[in-house]
Chains A and B, each alone.
Chain A
Amino acid sequence: MLGDKIFAGIATACGVLVLVILSAIIISLFVGGLPAFRAFGPGFLTNTDWDPVKQVYGAAVPIYGTLITAVLAILLAVPLAFGIAFYLTELAPQWFRQPVGTAIELLAAVPSIIYGMWGFFIIVPIMGDYVQPFLIDTLGEVPLIGALFQGPAFGTGILTSALILAIMILPFIAATMRDVFLTVPGVFKESAYGVGCTTWEVMRSIVLPYTRASVVGGVMLGLGRALGETMAVTFVIGNTNRISTSLFGPGNTIASIVALEFPESPAGSLKLSSLLALGFLLFVISFIVLAISRFLLRTKVTK
Chain B
Amino acid sequence: MKIASTALAIALAGISTAALAQPITGAGSSFAAPIYGKWGEAAAAAIGTKLNYQSIGSGAGINQVNARTVDFGASDMPVKAEDLAAHKLMQFPTVIGGVVIIVNIPGVEPDQLKLSGELLSEFYLGKITKWNDAKIVEMNNGLKLPDLAIAPVYRADGSGTTFVFTDYLSMLDPNWKSTVGSSTSVKWPVGNGAKGSEGVSAVVRQVKGGIGYAESAYAAQNHLTTTQMRNKAGSFVKPNMESFAAAAKFADWSKVQNFAIDLNDQQGAASWPIESATFVLLPTDAKDPAQTQAVIKFFDSSFKNGNKIATDLLYVPLPEAIQNTIRAAWSAQYKG
Contacts and interface: CB of A to CB of B under 8 A. Distances in A.
Contacts of B195: 234-235, 239, 260
B66 A267 contact: yes
B59 A260 contact: no
B202 A241 contact: no
A50 B187 contact: yes
A105 interface: no
Contact of A128 (B66, B156, B206): B206
B78 interface: no
A264 B159 contact: yes
Interface residues of B, number: 35
B186 A250 contact: no
Interface in B175-204: 180-188, 191-195, 199, 202-203
Interface string A144-183: 0000000011111000000000000000000000000000
A264 B194 contact: no
B246 interface: no
A53 B183 contact: yes
B187 A264 contact: no
Contact of B193 (A54, A124, A239, A266): A239
Interface string A230-251: 0000110011110000000010
B188 A52 contact: no
Contact of B63 (A124, A234, A239, A266): A266
Nearest to B189: A242
Contacts of A120: 199, 202
Contacts of A156: 192, 194, 203
B149 interface: yes
Given A49-B187, A51-B186, A52-B183, A239 B158 contact: no
A121 interface: yes
A267 to B, nearest CB: 5
B183 A263 contact: no
Given A239-B156, A239-B195, A266-B62, A154 B180 contact: no
Nearest to B67: A267
Interface string A247-276: 000100000000011111111000000000
Given A52-B183, A156-B203, A263 B56 contact: yes
Contacts of A101: none
Given A53-B181, A235-B195, A267-B66, A240 B188 contact: yes
A124 B153 CA distance: 15
A263 B157 contact: yes
A52 B186 contact: yes
B60 A263 contact: yes
Nearest to B62: A266
Interface in B74-88: none
A260 B187 contact: no
Nearest to A256: B156
Given A234-B195, A240-B191, A264 B67 contact: no
A154 B206 CA distance: 8
Pairs of residues from A and B, 6 with the lowest C-beta to C-beta distance, nearest first:
A264-B158, A239-B156, A239-B193, A263-B57, A264-B59, A53-B181
Interface of A: 49-54, 120-121, 124-125, 128, 152-156, 234-235, 238-241, 250, 260-267
Interface of B: 56-60, 62-63, 66-67, 149, 151, 156-159, 180-188, 191-195, 199, 202-203, 206-207, 209
